Amino acid sequence: MTTSLFQPIQLGDITLKNRIVMAPMTRSRSSQPGDVPNQIMADYYQQRASAGLIISEGTPISAVGRGYSMTPGIYTTAHIEGWKQVTQAVHAKDGKIFAQLWHVGRRSHSSISGQQPVAASAIKIPDQVFGPLPEGGFGMIETEQPKAMTQEDINNTINDFVQAAKNAIEAGFDGVEIHAAHGYLFDTFLHIESNQRQDQYGGSQQNRMRFLLETLTAVADAIGGNKVAVRLSPHVIEGFTEEDPEIVELTLAALANMVKLDLAYVHFSENISRYLEVPESFRQQVREVYPNPIMITGKLTKETAQVLLAKQYADLVAFATPYVTNPDLVERFYHNWPLAEFDADVRLTLYGGDAKGYSDYPQYKA
């Protein structure tokens, strides 16, 4: 029988009511000072709670992990209390929500994080992030030269991820997704171009995946593997200058190492920024080495998502931009109602601001 978008699925000890996931999207709506989650964020997520699963916007695990202004954190008591509003609002509508735990690595600037960015190696490439402008206000600013992480930095970061995961569970999240994609911290360890280390975290593929696997293991030990997920993007070149000839092979090897952790899911981000088309052979290779739940996101339509489920290449399918303007996306898919457009005016309200262009999109009315 073909798996439908609207079939339930079990993830660990939680049941998702359908296979449709709201993908993580940075919206920079937290309260200042302190980057605290607030009521309009609770409204925004609650409106979208008909999704089988919501993944929160990227949530920095520490100050140094921060790379975009006004993103809500998960490392202070105020953050935990703020997120409780959000998780309670989602659960009140019978929804499920994971927190995406985020360390941006070198994709940052000290004016955002308060300290020099860190990465696998002290290598900078041309890149921009959303931060404070010299003339006032916010906009895109050039990133800063990173410093190579010491063993102490790595140990501290693993501890930060563990504490952030515990904080997320305390805040009411159903689980956490560790962001290891898009040129952020873990991705700089995985890629040859950005990892020129001579220690146990550099060189061989096994060494380059070590930091990520150690972090996943530590977080799984702390809150349970079935509450932990990871996001990867082996076919996305965002955050790098060129494609990596080994990243697909390394990803498959890393997946084989993850099987024993019994993670909630592995999330593949595709078709954004600069990217390579994902060949069907890769999806087949992934299924050969990884029997546990797989999620795919990246410019999917209802039809292309259903094909991925039917071919058993994915168990969950995630949608990003359609969820900006369609809080009732599941219902629109189910009834074949038209989608509200994502246009240039919508793009202007993606980062920062208030409820306008955020939580004021209406449900469909025939």
Q: How far is CA 58 from CA 28, 78, 102, 129, 348, in A?
A: 10, 17, 5, 14, 20
List the beta bridge partners of residue 31: 36
| 162: CB partners within 8 A, 6+ apart | 218, 219, 222
CB 297 within 8 A of CB 23: yes
Core vs surface per residue 17-52: b (16+ CB within 10 A) or e: bbbbbbbbebbbbbbeeebbbbebbbbbbbbbbbbb
Q: Which of 184, 201, 265, 358 is catalytic?
A: 184
Token look-up 């699963």 returns 53
DSSP three-state, residue 209 = coil
The separation between CA 104 and the C-alpha centre of its own chain, rounded to angstroms, equals: 11
Cα(104)–Cα(180) distance, integer angstroms:
9
Q: How would DSSP label each residue in 281-301?
A: HHHHHHHHH--S-EEEESS--
The Cβ-side half-sphere exposure at 158, using a 13 Å CA radius, reads 19
The radius of gyration of the chain's CA atoms, rounded to the nearest angstrom, is 19
Element of type H or E holding 83: helix 77-92
Active site includes 201? no
CB 22 within 8 A of CB 68: no
Residues in the chain: 366
Which of the residues are catalytic? 184
